[in-house]
Amino acid sequence: MLELAVLGILLEAPMHGYELRKQLTTKLGAFRAAISYGSLYPTLRRLQAAGYITEASPEEGTSSADIPLMTSRRGRVVYAITAEGKERFAELVAQAGPETFDDPAFGVHFAFFSRTDRQTRLRILEGRRRRVEERREGLRQVLARAAERLDAYTLELQRHGLEAAEREVRWLEELIATERSGRTPGRPPGQSGDADGTGRGEELPPSEIPER
Amino acid sequence: MLELAVLGILLEAPMHGYELRKQLTTKLGAFRAAISYGSLYPTLRRLQAAGYITEASPEEGTSSADIPLMTSRRGRVVYAITAEGKERFAELVAQAGPETFDDPAFGVHFAFFSRTDRQTRLRILEGRRRRVEERREGLRQVLARAAERLDAYTLELQRHGLEAAEREVRWLEELIATERSGRTPGRPPGQSGDADGTGRGEELPPSEIPER
DNA sequence: CAGGCGATGTATCGAACCGATACATCGCAG
DNA sequence: CTGCGATGTATCGGTTCGATACATCGCCTG
């Protein structure tokens, strides 16, 4: 899961750990809170061992003498994705197994939707919708059947959870409708960010991002 | 975290693992998805080792002969909370450290609010509110400052996250206001599930709850 | 100009937690 | 009487987290 996220970020530019973590946090910050170093560094080592990324010391300044960035040892380490890593990313981003629909994994996949083809996007959105619908139904059952046996606070918690689930289903419905119509998400009323309106929005496989 | 949850559930009745998990899932289901056995059983063993719960074989039926519940071995194991466990629960439920405000821990604490005194409830709600507000501000920064550098999907994700954060802050505000006014949460308009309406809702200290 | 302090930066350790899996029994529908 | 889904206990490997340690940088203050 972190594997996909790290590869996806490194796809845009080589980076060192600290920066990587910041990017990860803002990119995934909407669903997940933050990534800890205790997860990040092991993941980097795993990826490196598998040959998906390389560890490269940074460019040696501009002149002849290498100014030791941090006088002795502990120079900053820059990680870059390899060709195998790109393949691996494509593989991971395309697969939508059941585990893709739990909270954190869905957020990660969603964050890389601009690098995912529409078919896969739809599969993931619909899978997630089913998940959230099931959760919603479960909460409704509890509230309908067992309301009198629960204390006021537990009840309030269930109610809040139910509301959130209902809202997310609606959000997903909208996204799915948008996908089907071939558009790109974004607020139509405010500014129509859709410059061409041709309804493309996928087939952006090379590596750059045409999105506004 | 699971420790608190398990003790809280066992406080209501002795139970075996499977049932415990179900209770846990409905009680905490609004914030957390589900508890896996890979977490539950180690937690039970930890609690048992610490003396907070005891493992008791179930009542031996009604007659003289003990019908081996599951012919040979693997009888169902019933766990019950001890006096030390109750003390431990009171200790855990009262403390509102910073870690209390991340998603899962907050949900657990909230679920046991009917066993928490109002002072602590307020501290926890306000701490959570500050957390969510910070998150909300972070997302606003991203959306305001870096919107043009993000693709449409990432943007949509941030927007959804922001909306959820705003909604939760509002929810928390309401709860805090309700607490301050000495009432119990619940929908006043719909059906007043509040049988007595005396506005009590705290002071149900099975053990003791020291007011700050 | 000393020195402190917050941001940048790399890294590890123990513990918690999860997903998958194995195994066993019960009740009941076909 | 057979198979299958719910009930039930339990472990294993692996991921992730929280805390912590260590080191350098730039900047502000006394």
Q: What pLDDT digit, counting tens, does each position of B6-39 carry?
A: 999 999 999 999 999 999 998 888 888 789 999 9
What is each CA distance from A2 to A41, A140, B116, in whole angstroms?
A: 11, 33, 37
Specify whether B41 is located in the same domain as B126. Answer: no
Specify whether B8 is located in the same domain as B80. Answer: yes
Task: Using alpha carbons, select from A152, A104, A188, A99 the residue that is nearest to residue B191.
Answer: A152
Specify whether B139 is located in the same domain as B172. Answer: yes
Residue pair B29/A138 in contact (Cβ under 8 Å)? The answer is: yes
Specify whether B84 is located in the same domain as B140. Answer: no
Specify whether A12 is located in the same domain as A89. Answer: yes
Does the pLDDT at position B193 exceed 50? no
Interface membership of B173 toward A (CB under 8 Å): no
Task: Calculate the angstrom distance between C1' of C29 and CA of B68.
Answer: 26
In a domain, A71, yes or no: no
Specify whether A27 is located in the same domain as A85. Answer: yes
Interface membership of A75 toward B (CB under 8 Å): no
Task: Using alpha carbons, select from A12, A46, A44 the residue that is nearest to residue A26.
Answer: A12
Specify whether B133 is located in the same domain as B92. Answer: no
Specify whether A86 is located in the same domain as A142. Answer: no
**pLDDT for res B187:** 66
Interface membership of A137 toward B (CB under 8 Å): no
Q: Which residue has the higher pLDDT, A199 or A188?
A: A188
pTM above 0.75, yes or no: yes
**pLDDT for res A162:** 94
Among A25-29, A78-82, A88-92, B144-148, the range scoring the smallest mean pLDDT is B144-148
In a domain, B185, yes or no: no
* Nucleotides on strand D lying under 7 Å from protein C-beta: 7-13, 15-20, 23-25
Residue A58: DSSP 8-state = P
Total domains in the fold of chain B: 2
In a domain, A137, yes or no: yes
In a domain, B65, yes or no: no
In a domain, A126, yes or no: yes
**pLDDT for res B109:** 94
Residue pair B124/B110 in contact (Cβ under 8 Å)? The answer is: yes
Distance from CA of A16 to the nearest CA of B (A): 20
Specify whether A92 is located in the same domain as A148. Answer: no
C-alpha–C-alpha distance, residues B97 and A160, integer Å: 24
A 10 A CB-CB count for A78 gives: 19
C-alpha–C-alpha distance, residues A130 and A78, integer Å: 40
**How many CA atoms within 13 Å lie on the side-chain side of A7?**
27
3-state DSSP assignment of residue B53 = strand
In a domain, A43, yes or no: yes
**pLDDT for res B20:** 95
Tokens linked to B7: 């003790």
Specify whether B16 is located in the same domain as B88. Answer: yes
Specify whether A53 is located in the same domain as A12. Answer: yes
Contact assignment for B160 to A171 by CB distance below 8 Å? yes
A50 touches strand D (CB under 7 A): no
Among A130-144, B116-130, B141-155, B191-205, the range scoring the smallest mean pLDDT is B191-205
**pLDDT for res A187:** 66
Percent with pLDDT over 70 in chain B? 79
Tokens linked to B203: 């002071």
C-alpha–C-alpha distance, residues A123 and A113, integer Å: 12
Specify whether A6 is located in the same domain as A91. Answer: yes
Contact assignment for A146 to B102 by CB distance below 8 Å? no
Q: Is the C-alpha dihedral spanning A169, A32, A102, B172 positive or negative?
A: negative
Query: B16: Cβ–Cβ under 8 A, 6 or more apart, which residues?
Result: B58, B76, B77, B78, B79
**Residue A23: domain span:** 2-58+77-96
In a domain, A51, yes or no: yes
CA angle B195, A153, B35 (to 5 degrees): 135
Q: How confident is the model at residue A60 (pLDDT cuts 50, 70, 90)?
A: very low
In a domain, B160, yes or no: yes
Location of structure tokens 């060192």: A16
Kindly report the CATH number assigned to the domain that includes residue A17. Answer: 1.10.10.10
